[in-house]
Structure 1
Amino acid sequence: MSATTQRDRAVSLAKSYPKEALKQARQVEKPWFRAQALSWVARFAERDVITISVEAAQAAAAGDDKYQQCAVRAWEIAALAERDYLTEAS
């Protein structure tokens, strides 16, 4: 299964089944797509929003190059801001 499909599967579960989405997101092979999936889960998780966001940041840091490491952080920052974790998002 491609990393894009893995990410899309986690994203599709995030709103209704955040725990299952988190399991799926953690299995995404490529860091770029794992960071996106984890960030999406953070948008809808009932708890552990910060912990999940930290996981997303760690996945981003494992990206192939500086662009991947930085650009994908926008997903995590947006998720935090949308959840009113404004201090953590800055």
Structure 2
Amino acid sequence: MYLHLGKDEIVPEHSVIGIFDLDQVSYGKRGREYLSRAEEEGVVLDVGEDIPKSFVVCDHPYHRQIVYLSQLSTATLQKRAESGALEE
């Protein structure tokens, strides 16, 4: 199954490590450090056309992890994942 993150970005659900609320994680020091490091490494992709509300961390074949910024809320992404909106 696949998860639609926004725009034209779709990832296999088995590669999803976690779905996180951007506001909540940004308050903590570790969350800010993680996102800053990921940005420095060039593994952050913005897949929304609006202000991001969440980010999804995924396994990636060319990097240890990749971080997708999404304009969708964590609740919406979770519902999509649970419903299997896009099947193989």
**Structure 2 length-normalised TM:** 0.24
Answer 1 or 2: which has greater helix percent: 1
Q: How high is the TM-score relative to the length of structure 1? A: 0.24
Q: Which has the higher contact order (CA 8 A, sep 6+)?
A: 2
| Bigger-Rg structure (1/2) | 2
Higher share of residues assigned strand: 2
